[in-house]
Amino acid sequence: MKASRYTISTLKETPSDAEIASHRLLIRGGFIKKLASGIYSWMPIGLRVLRKIEAIVREEMNRAGAQEVLMPNIQPAELWQESGRWQQYDEGLLLKLFDRNQREFCFGPTHEEVITEIARSELRSHKQLPVNFYQVQTKFRDETRPRFGLMRAREFIMKDAYSFHLDEQSLDAEFRNMYDAYSRIFSRMQLDFRAVIADAGAIGGNASMEFHVLADAGEDRIAFSNESDYAANIEMAESAAPSPDSTAPAPMETIETPNARTIEAVSNLLGVDAKQTVKTLIVKGAKAPLIAIVLRGDHQLNEVKAAKAEEVASPLTMAAEAEIRAATGSGLGSLGPVGLEMPILVDRDAAAIANFVCGANRDGYHHINVNWQRDASATRVLDLRDVLEGDPSPDGKGTLSFKRGIEVGHIFKLGDKYSKPMNATVLDESGKAATMMMGCYGIGVSRLVAATIEQYHDDKGMVWPTALAPFEAVVIPVNAHRSEAVQKAADEIYAGLIDAGIEVLLDDRDGHRPGAKFADAELIGYPHRIVVGDRGLESGVVEYTCRKTNETTEVSVTEIIARIVETVRSERT
């Protein structure tokens, strides 16, 4: 490709609404252009990257045995009414439209209904199962806060896949198959990613896993082990269960603690570590009016975990101070489990300590040397806290670290969530109608372009892995209009690289100074740059720069093509 015939629309200024690197660089590099909030056009150079990512996704989906289809963007309301989602789907995300006959439609934000409609009419017998259909397609979700460019757009490109099965074992196997395919996709893209437990589902095993690219710009926070592949959304993350402290119980005492209403104040006053204290929170109960939750003093309540406890009213609601005082006779600063007349849920770590400090349910007093069983009893011991960095991983391997993640993929066991209301059945071995089991598997293809840049950029611009770069190499002739030798050498190198199958751009733009071309090359991030100039040619060399290492070397004109071809071939995945 010759730059003189190619639209390169780089910008010097950073767009004012761009808060993260990928958004800034995609706009400045002229990869995308904003049309409206959360709606972008793909410019030629950006589309090349998108197509490469799509190609990797397609290759791996095909290799995994999935079949490509293409479903309509516009979906009839009736289908969504059948599944029950016309009203239920996340408030406002659905873009609804009318045709000329006032029939209602939506622009697809996802395609479970459409694929289930296809499956129920196409698949008749269990012998046709399992199957997995996928597509790469534009979706629309009317996000409340579109931002960060491609990261959270309203119109975006997704690879969505849907599998159909006779039974759960078959669904489990396909879930595993997709897990492996996703791991291959993100590895081929050279991304630093983790497969994260998103929801420990009811159908057994982890029914939903998200794939996250690790990057500070990510909207999610994940905890992962430094020694195993355990990773989970912070909301879901667990640590290994503690072993109980076997110190002999000392006699319990009640101590005056005036003005000490926080764990910090109490532990300072008594000279004990916060780890040796517990705190007591009171929430509304599902059956009993109030429920106590006891945590170690240095731990925080995990509201997602607490909300799942059957004793707790949903949504999780903290009790008001007046209610607490009426029930316990104490204010918030002196609560504790001793003598408390309500169900008590105790976090595993709080349950493991001996001789702890807690409020005495009397303003200005605390107990010391409190021990479970002897002094207070737990209704139930369970995991109720947020994990901390450094906690032991729940699989017993290593400790947990935290990072931010960008959700680029999501695999989900749907079970019969759609097939049941939509009556998608096949005949099983005995000739009876059986509701099919479903899985769904999404990849944010356009979001991946942004996520890749978050991991691959420096202060000058994008630094593409060769497998994803818009062009693998750029040839920049310096002042070719003044030198026939430069023009000729650059043309020959360009032609030689094209013949060898290298994706190369010749930056032959008139009216661009060399400095501007270099800056564009760094901004766009071509992995390999060859600069052809008069001075070098006098001694038979060109300048070669590797974008990743930023190192420049002189390479002889006769060797440069072979050098580039060899390097690029070794870098393609």
Q: Which class for 535: exposed (0-12), middle (13-18), buried (19 or more C-beta within 10 A)? A: exposed
CB 95 within 8 A of CB 107: yes
- How far apart are CB 408 and ligand ATP at their closest, in Å? 5
Q: What is the rounded distance in angstroms from the CA atom of residue 334 to the CA atom of residue 428?
A: 62
Q: How far is CA 14 from CA 28, 47, 247, in A?
A: 6, 21, 61
- Interface pattern 138-177 for ligand ATP (x via CB under 6 A): ---x-x--------xx--x-x-------------------
Q: What is the rounded distance in angstroms from the CA atom of residue 134 to the CA atom of residue 57?
A: 10
Measure CA of the first residue to CA of the last residue in the chain; give whole Å. 22
Under 8 Å CB-to-CB from 41, ≥6 apart: which residues?
Answer: 32, 33, 35
Among 188, 299, 447, 457, binds ligand ATP (CB under 6 A): 447
Among 126, 152, 366, 410, binds Mg ion (CB under 5 A): 410
Binding segment for Mg ion among 318-326, 407-415, 428-436, 507-515 (CB under 5 A)? 407-415
Binding segment for Mg ion among 75-83, 147-155, 156-164, 408-416 (CB under 5 A)? 408-416
Q: Specify the residue, 201 or 496, whose C-beta has the smaller distance to ligand ATP.
A: 201
> Which residue is listed with tokens 């408030």?
91
449 is in the binding site of which of Mg ion, ligand ATP, none (Cβ under 5 to 8 A by kind)? none
Q: Specify the residue, 54 or 407, whose C-beta has the smaller distance to ligand ATP.
A: 407
In 200-338, DSSP assigns E strands to 208-214, 220-225, 231-233, 253-256, 278-284, 290-296
Under 8 Å CB-to-CB from 22, ≥6 apart: which residues?
Answer: 148, 149, 150, 151, 217, 449, 450, 451, 452, 453, 454, 457
Q: How many residues contact ligand ATP, by CB under 6 A? A: 15
CB 475 within 8 A of CB 505: yes
Among 394, 442, 477, 533, binds ligand ATP (CB under 6 A): 442
Binding segment for Mg ion among 406-414, 496-504, 533-541, 562-570 (CB under 5 A)? 406-414
- How far apart are CB 70 and Mg ion at their closest, in Å? 22
Q: How far is CA 385 from CA 154, 279, 306, 347, 441, in A?
A: 35, 12, 8, 7, 30
Q: With b meaning 16 or more CB within 10 Å and e meaning fewer, what string describes 97-132? A: eeeeeeeebbbbbbbbbbbbbbbbeebeebeebbbb
Q: Is 408 a residue that touches ligand ATP (CB under 6 A)? A: yes
Among 108, 218, 444, 470, binds ligand ATP (CB under 6 A): 444
Q: Specify the residue, 336 or 405, whose C-beta has the smaller distance to ligand ATP.
A: 405
Q: Specify the residue, 8 or 217, whose C-beta has the smaller distance to Mg ion.
A: 217
Q: Specify the residue, 410 or 529, whose C-beta has the smaller distance to Mg ion.
A: 410
Q: Specify the residue, 114 or 478, whose C-beta has the smaller distance to ligand ATP.
A: 114
> Which residue is listed with tokens 């100039």?
533
Q: Specify the residue, 237 or 332, whose C-beta has the smaller distance to ligand ATP.
A: 237
Name residues contacting ligand ATP, limited to 102-131 (CB under 6 A): 110
522 is in the binding site of which of Mg ion, ligand ATP, none (Cβ under 5 to 8 A by kind)? none
- How far apart are CB 156 and ligand ATP at their closest, in Å? 4
What does the H/E/C string look like for 51-65? HHHHHHHHHHHHHCC
Q: Is 212 a residue that touches ligand ATP (CB under 6 A)? A: no
Q: Which of 429, 415, 434, 421 has the alpha carbon at shortest distance from 117?
A: 421
According to DSSP H, which parts of 64-217 are helical?
77-83, 85-88, 112-122, 168-188
DSSP one-letter code for 303 = H
Q: With b meaning 16 or more CB within 10 Å and e meaning fewer, what string describes 469-480? A: bbbbbbbbbbeb
199 is in the binding site of which of ligand ATP, Mg ion, none (Cβ under 5 to 8 A by kind)? none
Q: Specify the residue, 439 or 442, whose C-beta has the smaller distance to ligand ATP.
A: 442
Q: How far is CA 31 from CA 10, 25, 467, in A?
A: 8, 8, 17
- Interface pattern 69-108 for ligand ATP (x via CB under 6 A): ----------------------------------------
Q: Specify the residue, 362 or 410, whose C-beta has the smaller distance to ligand ATP.
A: 410
Q: Is 364 left (phi over 0), alpha (psi -120 to 50) or beta?
A: left
Q: With b meaning 16 or more CB within 10 Å and e meaning fewer, what string describes 320-333? A: eeeebeebbebbbb
Binding segment for Mg ion among 42-50, 358-366, 402-410, 474-482 (CB under 5 A)? 402-410
Q: Specify the residue, 23 or 410, whose C-beta has the smaller distance to ligand ATP.
A: 410
Binding segment for ligand ATP among 330-338, 407-415, 454-462, 519-527 (CB under 6 A)? 407-415
- How far apart are CB 195 and ligand ATP at their closest, in Å? 12
- How far apart are CB 447 and Mg ion at their closest, in Å? 11
444 is in the binding site of which of ligand ATP, Mg ion, none (Cβ under 5 to 8 A by kind)? ligand ATP
277 is in the binding site of which of ligand ATP, Mg ion, none (Cβ under 5 to 8 A by kind)? none
Q: Specify the residue, 219 or 264, whose C-beta has the smaller distance to ligand ATP.
A: 219
What does the H/E/C string look like for 542-563? EEEEECCCCCEEEEECCCHHHH
Q: Is 407 a residue that touches ligand ATP (CB under 6 A)? A: yes
Q: How many residues contact Mg ion, by CB under 5 A? A: 1
Binding site for ligand ATP (CB under 6 A): 110, 141, 143, 152-153, 156, 158, 407-410, 442, 444, 446-447
Binding site for Mg ion (CB under 5 A): 410
